[in-house]
């Protein structure tokens, strides 16, 4: 055994030790501070000795071989700066030169082979980081440094890359960056040529690193001499190298063609990296640049060709591994994030889109997260650049994608994208969607109907997202929205039976056309909330229908309109034209224009009542908006007619007609007459039942008529009803306790049981038998004896009668339920109108006529929602009637009517009702009191007498059920009003 070497004594510089320790810190600021401190010890003005330089370099090179914390990063920074400080200027008296520093680096990072696997890896990384620091220092490129030292560094880097493929990418990155550094320093081409020669000699030329370095050298040093017979026309991106490029970039090894030097093919690294190789960016950036240039003799791959061959047919091939597809998704995300729109448009290729769709659809798939990341990248790009939406939609839903992408992936990717699109993108998206409706990519009628339904839903999503646009944006969006609505008009109202290129294939079914007409209503429902669109787009729609029907450009108009009806429509359009001319001058013109447009729309939808409504509208518009002579005449009849028209719209279960009726009513609410208000009140007082509906709509056994048959693909509509324009109001019972609900349920079950029992009894009577649990001890009858033909016929007739009665009874129950829902919906709509009325006309005494009907509705209605809404309307009315806003009494007759109203309110308060009814009665009573006292302070005496009588009735009468809160609120008002009354 060799004797132990005696450790030589030497002085320890504590300051340097601290620097070295801090250089390995994981905190950036500590590492940088330590590097600055260490470098400051070796500045030229301090003239460090050779021994000090050698010692610190040895320590830094050794630190690069350490895997402790962040040692490599910190020591590399310090090494770069110290090399620059020490060797940037000639050191004449020094015997330690830059060549000695290179030898020191080589020796310190050399692996003898006797170390452990981890130690060998540390030495390889030390050599790599040392090479990077030496190149970054720039000392190699000084005129005084021999060129051989550059080649020495290159040999060490390439030797490491060749021997250790797992570190080859990092070695290639250093050389790739160095090419750019050489270009910025304007160095001689021999430096790059030396690197290119070693690319070939070390068999790395045909590798991802070799391609990146070659392309960088070709761009930055075009006059350099490139090794021959490596690439066609010395260009890795030559069109003839397409296949080789694909194999190399996915690291499967290059397939060399005949005559090529097979030693130029690099071995695969054998290690999969979850990060993208830097060569991808180098290749993609140059293909995109080449795609913009003019044609040249040497054909270079365009981005589209590169993406299809290398990425789509390479990484996303059906036989590709999940790891390669992972790379493909990373590339896709990078192109989506940073690529130009033209470049990104080519990234939506067939194999990629198939993989994206499949991976998005199922959460537990291997690449689901990457697929989600890709989808979010598209959405993020659209949010940042709304015009990119057109590229994204064509990619996701075009020939390479899936038309019903959102349905296939169970996401809302496309829906969110179209919502973000600006008017420029919509200019491309809307015509694209029109083609998809025209030719949905399938000949199967059911699939075509489903695809068309999906596209129609997207068009509706666009409208809803743009409906709340500001006035400036509305001007830009107007043209796109008109174009969008014209698509609905074309396919909803016209049938092109031709065989030309414009004819839908397959033809649209009746159910699909009905769906598209509903979509128009849904669009208009969203648009009329914006005042800018409310005055224009409904008119645009009916005008488009009229013009297309006249020209026949979209085929046959599916609605049959006779001559008489046509004349009414023509007259209505003339009135519309006049209204458009006066729209800015008259306040109510916009409301009438909207009402006219919607009424004509109803005519086009086949509503028989719409024709008479047009005539009434003509009468109303003449009275309200006609010449001065017409305006001087009594407008009462016109106001009543207008109320009836709006009620006919409000009676329909449609959000569109509800919103339209509210907007128009708001414009003319202050002109409603007593008769018009009575029409509204009569609806509130109608029963919420079939009898009430028949009384209201004057139905005479018409409810039993059978509805028209639906189309064969009517099932398609079920899903779509969720976002349709139809508004359904649940007839929720106003029960205040669970026990009440249970009692009602029990009663319903008893009714059902009785009905079933009655049916069984009739059936038994017809068959001449009895139930199995009845007359168990009776003697056997001869009922099972054979029957002759006459008896059989008689039995058949009896059974037919029994089942017909059963069917009629079931139908009647359904009619009763539907009638109840219709009446609840109608009352809801009327209450909406009355809420507008009390806000607009609260200063009119006429509005007080609403108090008793609202109170009775609050008490009598079996639907909690209706009762609550009635209370809300009354509360809103009392809230706006304050101070000078109170209605004013003008004569004795009105005073007497108010006293009678006050007594009636108190009588109503005596009825037993829900909790909200008592509060509403108190509010109504105090409102009447305020009006009386405001007219005459002495009226307070009579008011006290009325309240006293009510208190007396409460104490002595068993029929008076006034709540205590009625008097406590009266007392509170007395306290607050006492000062004003004295």
Q: How confident is the model at residue 8, as a pLDDT?
A: 46
Q: How far apart are CA 373 and CA 273, in angstroms?
A: 18
Q: What's the confidence (pLDDT) of residue 756? A: 58
pLDDT digits (tens, 9 = 90+) for 306-343: 999 999 999 999 999 999 999 999 999 999 999 999 99
Q: Is residue 490 predicted with pLDDT exceeding 90?
A: yes
* Average pLDDT score over residue span 670-697: 84
Report how far residue 821's alpha carbon sits from residue 906's, in angstroms, rounded to the nearest whole number. 32
Q: What mean pLDDT do residues 510-532 have?
A: 91
Q: Are 690 and 815 in contact (CB under 8 A)?
A: yes
Q: What is the pLDDT of residue 876?
A: 95
Does pLDDT of 922 surpass 50? yes
- pLDDT at 580 (0 to 100): 76
Calculate mean pLDDT across residues 421-444: 93
CA–CA distance, 718 with 124 (Å, rounded to integer): 67
Predicted local distance difference test score (pLDDT) of residue 529? 85
Q: pLDDT at position 96, please?
A: 85
Gap between the Cα atoms of 626 and 408, Å rounded = 56
Residue 44 has pLDDT above 50, yes or no: yes
Task: Give residue 572's pLDDT.
Answer: 87
**Mean pLDDT across 182-204:** 94
Query: In this structure, is residue 600 part of a structural domain?
Result: no
CB atoms within 10 A of CB 451: 22
> For residue 614, what are the CA distances in angstroms to 357, 565, 572, 631?
51, 10, 7, 20
* Mean pLDDT score of the chain: 83
Mean pLDDT of 126-146: 93
Q: Which pLDDT score is estimated for 330?
A: 96
- For residue 82, pLDDT over 80 is answered with yes
Q: How confident is the model at residue 365 (pLDDT cuts 50, 70, 90)?
A: very high
Taking Cα atoms as reference points, which of 645, 646, 636, 641 lies closest to residue 671? 636
What pLDDT score was predicted for residue 736? Answer: 43
Within-domain flag for 973: yes
Nearest to 194 by CA among 221, 168, 212: 221
In a domain, 919, yes or no: yes
Task: Report yes or no: 366 and 313 within 8 Å, Cβ to Cβ.
Answer: no
pLDDT > 90 in the chain, percent: 51
Q: In angstroms, rounded to a whole number, what is the distance separating the alpha carbons of residues 723 and 730? A: 17
Collapsing DSSP states into helix, strand and coil, what is residue 862? coil
The pair of structure tokens assigned to 740 is 């009440």
pLDDT value of residue 779: 44
pLDDT of 717 > 60? The answer is no
Of residues 116 and 347, more confidently modeled: 347
745 pLDDT band, cuts 50/70/90, is: very low
Of 6-10, 57-61, 819-823, 917-921, give the lowest mean pLDDT range.
6-10
Report the pLDDT value the prediction gives residue 542, as an integer from 0 to 100: 93
Contact between residue 541 and residue 520 where contact means Cβ atoms under 8 Å apart: yes
Residue 240 clears pLDDT 80, i.e. is over it: yes
Task: Judge if pTM exceeds 0.75.
Answer: yes
**Average pLDDT over every residue of 730-759:** 48
Tokens of 303: 């981005």
Residue 944, domain extent: 844-981
Tell me: pLDDT of 35 over 80.
yes
Put residue 229 in one of left, alpha, beta given phi > 0 → left and psi -120 to 50 → alpha: left
Render pLDDT for 141-186 as a digit per residue (tens, 0 to 9): 999 899 999 999 999 999 999 999 899 999 999 999 999 999 999 9
Residue 751: the pLDDT is 52
**Could you give the percent of the chain with pLDDT greater than 70?**
81
Q: Is residue 726 part of a domain?
A: no
Q: At what angle do helices 892-909 and 939-956 cross, to 10 degrees?
A: 20
In a domain, 899, yes or no: yes
pLDDT value, residue 396: 96
Q: In sequence order, what are the residues at sequence separation of 6 or more whose Cβ sits closer than 8 angstroms to the Cβ of residue 850?
A: 677, 681, 834, 837, 838, 873, 874, 877
- 711 pLDDT exceeds 50? no
> 343-357, 449-463, 715-729: lowest mean pLDDT where?
715-729
For 379-423, what is each residue's pLDDT tens digit?
999 999 999 999 999 999 999 999 999 999 999 999 999 999 999
Does the residue 83 lie in any domain? no
**Cα atoms in the 13 Å half-sphere on the side-chain side of 768:** 12
> Within its chain, how far is the Cα of 91 from the centroid?
69
Pick left, alpha or beta for residue 138 (phi over 0 → left; psi -120 to 50 → alpha; otherwise beta).
left
User: Which of these, 863, 867, 865, 965, lies nearest to 909 by C-alpha position?
Assistant: 965
Domain count along the chain: 1
Please report whether residue 877 resides in a domain.
yes
3-state secondary structure 106-169: HHHCCCCCCCCHHHHHHHHHHHHHHHHHHHHHCHHHCCCCCHHHHHHHHHHHHHHHHHCHHHHH
Give per-residue pLDDT as tens, 452-471: 999 999 999 999 998 887 76
863 by DSSP, 3-state: which?
A: strand
Structure confidence by residue, pLDDT tens digits, 833-892: 999 999 999 999 999 999 999 999 999 998 899 999 999 999 999 999 988 889 999 889
Task: Give the pLDDT score at 613.
Answer: 84
The backbone torsions φ and ψ at residue 431, rounded to the nearest 5 degrees and listed phi first, read: -60, -35
Give pLDDT, residue 250.
82
pLDDT tens per residue, range 556-602: 999 888 888 888 888 888 888 887 776 665 667 788 888 888 889 98
Q: Average pLDDT for residues 526-537, to the nearest whole number?
A: 86
At 511 the pLDDT is 94
Q: CA-to-CA distance for 255 and 247, rounded, in angstroms?
A: 7
């Amino acid at each position: 055994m060799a004797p132990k070497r005696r450790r030589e004594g030497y002085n320890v510089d504590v300051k340097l030790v601290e620097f070295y320790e801090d250089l390995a810190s994981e905190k950036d600021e500590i590492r940088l501070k330590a590097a600055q401190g260490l470098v400051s010890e070796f500045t030229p003005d301090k003239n460090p000795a050779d021994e000090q330089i050698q010692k610190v370099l040895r320590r830094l090179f050794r630190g690069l071989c350490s895997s402790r914390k962040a040692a490599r990063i910190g020591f590399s920074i310090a090494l770069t700066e110290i090399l620059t400080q020490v060797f940037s200027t000639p050191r004449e008296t020094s015997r330690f030169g830059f060549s000695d520093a290179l030898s020191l680096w080589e020796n310190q990072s050399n692996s003898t082979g006797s170390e452990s696997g981890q130690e060998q890896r540390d030495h390889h990384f030390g050599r790599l980081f040392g090479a990077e620091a030496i190149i970054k220092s720039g000392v190699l490129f000084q005129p005084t440094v021999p060129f051989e030292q550059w080649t020495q560094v290159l040999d060490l880097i390439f030797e490491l890359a060749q021997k250790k493929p797992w570190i080859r990418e990092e070695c290639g990155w250093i050389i790739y960056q160095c090419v750019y550094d050489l270009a910025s320093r304007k160095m001689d081409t021999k430096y790059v040529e030396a690197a290119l020669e070693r690319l070939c000699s070390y068999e790395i030329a045909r590798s991802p690193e070799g391609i990146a370095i070659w392309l960088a050298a070709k761009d930055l040093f075009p006059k350099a001499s490139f090794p021959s017979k490596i690439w066609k026309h010395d260009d890795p991106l030559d069109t003839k190298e397409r296949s080789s490029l694909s194999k190399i970039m996915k690291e499967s090894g290059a397939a060399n063609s005949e005559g090529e030097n097979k030693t130029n093919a690099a071995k695969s690294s054998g290690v999969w990296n979850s990060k993208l190789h830097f060569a991808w960016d180098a290749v993609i950036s140059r293909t995109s640049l080449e795609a913009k240039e003019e044609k040249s003799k040497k054909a270079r791959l365009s981005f589209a060709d590169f993406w299809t061959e290398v990425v789509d047919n390479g990484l996303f091939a059906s036989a590709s591994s999940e790891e390669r597809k992972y790379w493909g998704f990373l590339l896709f995300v990078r192109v989506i994030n940073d690529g130009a729109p033209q470049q990104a448009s080519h990234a939506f290729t067939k194999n990629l889109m198939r993989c994206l769709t499949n991976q998005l659809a199922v959460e537990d798939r291997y690449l689901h997260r990457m697929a989600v990341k890709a989808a979010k990248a598209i959405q993020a790009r659209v949010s940042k650049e709304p015009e990119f939406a057109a590229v994204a939609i064509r990619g996701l839903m075009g020939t390479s994608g899936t038309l019903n992408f959102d349905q296939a992936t169970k996401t809302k990717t496309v829906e969110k994208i179209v919502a973000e699109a600006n008017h420029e993108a919509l200019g491309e998206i809307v015509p694209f969607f029109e083609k998809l409706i025209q030719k949905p990519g399938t000949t199967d009628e059911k699939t075509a109907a489903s695809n068309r339904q999906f596209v129609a839903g997207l068009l509706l999503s666009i409208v809803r997202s743009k409906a709340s646009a500001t006035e400036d944006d509305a001007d830009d969006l107007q043209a796109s929205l008109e174009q969008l609505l014209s698509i609905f008009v074309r396919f909803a109202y016209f049938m092109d039976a031709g065989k030309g290129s414009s004819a839908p294939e397959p033809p649209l079914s009746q159910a699909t056309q009905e769906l598209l007409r509903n979509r128009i209503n849904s669009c208009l429902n969203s648009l009329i909330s914006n005042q800018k669109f409310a005055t224009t787009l409904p008119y645009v729609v009916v005008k488009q229908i009229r013009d297309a029907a006249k020209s026949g450009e979209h085929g046959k108009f599916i609605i049959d309109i006779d001559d008489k009806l046509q004349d009414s429509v023509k007259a209505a359009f003339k009135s519309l034209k006049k209204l458009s001319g006066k729209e800015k001058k008259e306040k109510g013109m916009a409301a009438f224009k909207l009402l006219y447009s919607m009424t004509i729309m109803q005519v086009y939808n086949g509503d028989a009542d719409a024709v008479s409504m047009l005539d009434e509208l003509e009468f109303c518009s003449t009275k309200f908006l006609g010449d001065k002579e017409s305006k001087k005449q009594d407008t009462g009849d016109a106001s009543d007619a207008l109320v009836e028209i709006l009620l006919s719209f409000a009676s329909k279960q449609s959000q569109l007609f509800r919103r339209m009726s509210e907007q128009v009513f708001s414009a003319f609410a202050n002109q409603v007459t007593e008769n018009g208000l009575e029409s509204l009140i009569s609806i509130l007082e109608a029963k919420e039942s079939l009898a009430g509906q028949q009384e209201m709509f004057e139905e005479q056994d018409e409810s039993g008529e059978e509805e028209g048959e639906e189309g064969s693909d009517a099932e398609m509509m079920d899903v779509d009803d969720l976002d349709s324009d139809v508004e359904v109001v649940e007839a929720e019972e106003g029960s205040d306790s669970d026990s009440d609900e249970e009692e009602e349920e029990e009663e319903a079950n008893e009714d059902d049981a009785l009905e079933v029992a009655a049916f069984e009894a009739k059936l038994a009577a017809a068959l001449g038998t009895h139930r199995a649990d009845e007359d168990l001890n009776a003697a056997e009858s001869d009922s099972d004896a054979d029957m002759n033909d006459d008896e059989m016929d008689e039995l058949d007739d009896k059974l037919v009668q029994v089942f017909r009665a059963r069917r009629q009874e079931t139908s009647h129950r359904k009619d009763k339920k539907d009638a109840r829902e219709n009446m609840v919906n109608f009352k809801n709509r009327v209450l909406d109108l009355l809420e507008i009325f009390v806000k607009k006309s609260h200063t009119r005494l006429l509005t007080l006529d609403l108090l008793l009907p609202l109170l009775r509705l609050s008490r009598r209605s079996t639907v909690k929602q209706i009762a609550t809404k009635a209370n809300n309307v009354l509360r809103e009315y009392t809230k706006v009637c304050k101070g000078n806003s109170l209605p004013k009494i003008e004569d004795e007759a009105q005073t007497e009517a108010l006293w009678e109203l006050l007594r009636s309110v108190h009588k109503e308060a005596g009825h037993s009702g829900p909790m909200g009814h008592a509060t509403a009665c108190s509010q109504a009573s105090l409102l009447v009191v305020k009006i009386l006292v405001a007219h005459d302070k002495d009226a307070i005496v009579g008011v006290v007498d009325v309240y006293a009588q009510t208190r007396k009735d409460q104490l002595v009468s068993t029929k008076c059920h006034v709540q205590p809160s009625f008097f406590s609120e009266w007392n509170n008002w007395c306290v607050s009003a006492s000062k004003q009354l004295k």
